Structure 1
C-alpha cells in the first residue's frame, strides 16, 4: 500500500539523518552505521501495522479538528446580539433561543460598545457543512460572568457566576507638575476618586489660580481587585489632603448621627459652604468683579459680578439652598434668576437661555441643583454666565468674600468625629501605597 511506502521512506530518511549525525560524533563508526542503515532498508515492515498507526494519527487530527472553536468579539456601535451571533454562523432560531434564556439574567440591550463576547462554535465532522453554534459568554461587569450553553437536547441554558473580589484600603500620593488631573492619573487614581477630590476641594480651592507646580496631594480610599490582582473598582474616599504653596488642607469623611455623610476639616467644620463660588462645572472666568470698560456701551462702569465663559445650554447650579425671588427678563441682564439664601445672602444669574423645569418665583431649590442654562440674552456679546453674590442687597466680590460656613460639629458629635479622624490617620499610616504609575480601574 502507498501508506506503507510513505512510512518506510520516512524511516529511511530518519536512519540517514541519524547516520550523518553519528559520523560527526564518531568518524570510525561509518561501517556500523552503513550496516544499520542496510538492515533498516531490508527490514520487512508489516503494511497492516504501519497503516493502523498512520490511521490512528489521522484520527487524532480529525478529533482535534472537531474541538470547539472560541471566537473573541467586541461589540461595535449599532450591533445587536442577535446579529452578532448570526454573523458568526448561528441560525436565526438558535440565536434568538439563546437570547431568550439570557434575558432571565441580563438584558441584551444593555450591551455597550467595546464589550467583549466569546462565541463558541462546533465544526462539522466533514469539514464542509456549517459549524454549530454552541453558546456564548461575557462579563457584563467586574462582579459576574454570564454564559449560555447548548445542551445535548439542543436547548440552551444560562448561568451566572459571581466573581470573587478582594477589598483593600489603599493610599495614593502625587505631585502636580502640569495639572491636578495628570498628576492624579499618574498616581493611579481613577476618575471616580478624582471626581470626589474635585468636588470636595472645590469649596476651598480655585483650580485655575490656586494650584501650582510642586503642590501635592494624598488620597486614602477603598479599592477592589479581581482574582488576578487587577484593580476593578474604587469606592469611598475616607481622607484627602492637598498642600497648596506649603499650606496643607485636610478633609475627613464622617457620618453624623442624623445619617448625613460629609467631609469635614480637622476642626469638625463641613467642607460645604453655604454658597458655591463657581455655580457651573468647567467654568472659566472671562471678566472679574470691579471697574471695566463695558464691551457694548464702550465706557467704564462697575462690573458687579463675575463672568464665566461657557457654551450655550451649559447647566447652571444653584449656589446654595434658598427660594427663587425672580425668574424672567430683567433689562440688560436678559433672562435673569435671583435666589434668596439665609442670613441676608442672595445670588443672581444673568444672560440665561432658559430656566430648568419647575424653577419659578417662590420655588425652593437646593445647593447644586440645576436651575438654569447658559445663554446670551440681554446686553451680551456672546454666551456666558454673569454671576453675582449679594449681602443685604449689595453686590460683593464672589472671589474675595468669606463664604458663610456650613455645618459645624459640636459636643459628643465632635468627640465622635475626632475619634474617627484618629482611626483614619492610624489606618492610613499602615496602608499600602499603590505607588507611582499604578493602573487605575477602567
Structure 2
C-alpha cells in the first residue's frame, strides 16, 4: 500500500485497490523484489478550466504474475475497484542453433546462444544415452530447434520447449523429436519412434564430469588397489543428485567408507546406490517412493573421500555391475497409427528446421532468462 501512496494515490484508494485483489493476487506472496508495477493516476476533478489545479486519484494498477499473465486493477463506479487476471499477447517463434564441440556441449552450446534453461533440458534428454565425459569428442556437433516467446515490445520473455535436437558423435547422429505419448504426456523419441527414456539414467547428474572408470584403481584413502564397483561424478558440494529411476528407498543412512548413502530398489532385478552425500533431500528416507529425476540428495565428500563427488553404483540381482556397460531397453515404442503420426511430424520438423536461418542469438541477450 505504501508504494501506491508514495506514487500519489490516496490512502483510501490504495487500501480499496489492494482489498480488491483478494482471491486474485496476494501481494505478500506473489510480489517479488524487482517486479515493476504500472500505476496510473487520473484526474479526480473537472480539468476543463485550465486555471484550476486538478486533483488526481488512482485509476488503475498492473501487477506482474508470470511472463504471460498479469493482474489488472481498475477503478469501477465510484470508489470501488475491480481486479482481474489478464493474458498478455505474446509471439511464439522457433529458433535454430547449431555448432561444433571443441570444449563441451554445455560451453559450446552456451557460446552459440542456447539459453541455459534450454541447455539443461537438452542435457537431461540425452542423459539416458550419452556419457558426457567419454562419448563427446572434439569435432562432434549439435543441432537444436526450440521455442521462445516475445512480448509486444519484441523483448524475449521466455524460452520454451525443445522441438528437435541432434548430437552427432564421431560421425553418428542421434536425433530426438518431441512427441505426445499414448498416455498424453510429452516425451522425446528417436527416428524409429522409440522413447529416449529408459528404466535407469546413465548419469544421475546432468552434465556432470565422470572422474573415474569402472574397474580396478588405487583407492585414494585406503591406499591399495581394489574393485571400484561404480563410477564417480565430480561435482561441487551441494549439487543435486537425482533418482536414476522410479523405486523405493531401501537405505538412507551412514555406511562406513561410503559416508552418507542411499540405495533405491527399482524392481525385482535392479537397484542403485549413491555414496559420499553431503545430505539427503527433504522427505527422502527408508521406505519412501521416489520418481525418476527426483532430487534425493546432494553431492558431498563424506566417508572415505578426497573431494566432493558422487559415487554411483548399479546392482543387478544384488551384485554390483558396470554402470557404463549396462544396456537397457527404451521405454515406449510407438506402433501403428501413433508411429505413422510421429513419422509425419518428424518429416515436418525436419523441413521446418531446414527452413530456419541460424539467428544472431547471443548468450548475453537472454541473460535474465537463463541465469
TM range (shorter): 0.7 to 0.9
Name the counterpart of 1:379.
Answer: 304
- Does residue 86 (structure 1) correspond to residue 86 (structure 2)? The answer is no
Give, in angstroms, the shift of residue 251 of structure 1.
0.4
> Partners of 1:223 and 1:383 in 2: how far apart?
36
- Does residue 437 (structure 1) correspond to residue 361 (structure 2)? The answer is yes
Name the counterpart of 2:62.
Answer: 138
Give, in angstroms, the shift of residue 376 of structure 1.
4.1
Which TM-score applies when normalising by structure 1?
0.67
How has the CA–CA distance of structure 1 residues 142 and 299 changed in structure 2, closer, same or farther, with 3 Å as cutoff? closer
Name the counterpart of 2:295.
Answer: 370
Name the counterpart of 1:112.
Answer: 32
> Partners of 1:249 and 1:221 in 2: how far apart?
17
Q: CA RMSD in A?
A: 3.7
> Partners of 2:247 and 2:87 in 1: how far apart?
46
**Relative to total residues, which structure has the larger strand share, 1 or 2?**
2
Give, in angstroms, the shift of residue 144 of structure 1.
4.3
- Does residue 278 (structure 1) correspond to residue 203 (structure 2)? The answer is yes
Name the counterpart of 2:342.
Answer: 417
Runs of 4+ more than 6 Å apart: 122-127
Contact 1:188 1:435 in 2 (8 A): no
Match of 1:205 among 130, 134, 137: 130
> Partners of 2:15 and 2:291 in 1: how far apart?
48
Greater shift, 148-157 or 118-127, is seen at 118-127
Q: Which has the higher contact order (CA 8 A, sep 6+)?
A: 2
Contact 1:272 1:405 in 2 (8 A): no
> Partners of 1:375 and 1:185 in 2: how far apart?
27
Match of 2:19 among 93, 100, 108: 100
Give, in angstroms, the shift of residue 232 of structure 1.
3.1
- Unpaired segments ≥5 residues, structure 2: none
Contact 1:274 1:403 in 2 (8 A): no
CA deviations on 1:325-382 (whole Å, 9 max, x unpaired) are: 4444434323433333457433222234554425315x55432233344444433345
Secondary structure of the residue aligned to 1:422 is helix
CA deviations on 1:173-224 (whole Å, 9 max, x unpaired) are: 3344655345444555434433321211222223345445543322233333
**Relative to total residues, which structure has the larger helix share, 1 or 2?**
1
> Partners of 1:342 and 1:160 in 2: how far apart?
46
Name the counterpart of 1:398.
Answer: 323
Contact 1:321 1:366 in 2 (8 A): yes
- Unpaired segments ≥5 residues, structure 1: 1-81
Which TM-score applies when normalising by structure 2?
0.78
Greater shift, 201-210 or 250-259, is seen at 201-210
> Partners of 1:282 and 1:217 in 2: how far apart?
15
> Partners of 2:207 and 2:258 in 1: how far apart?
22
> Partners of 2:70 and 2:263 in 1: how far apart?
51
> Partners of 1:411 and 1:150 in 2: how far apart?
57
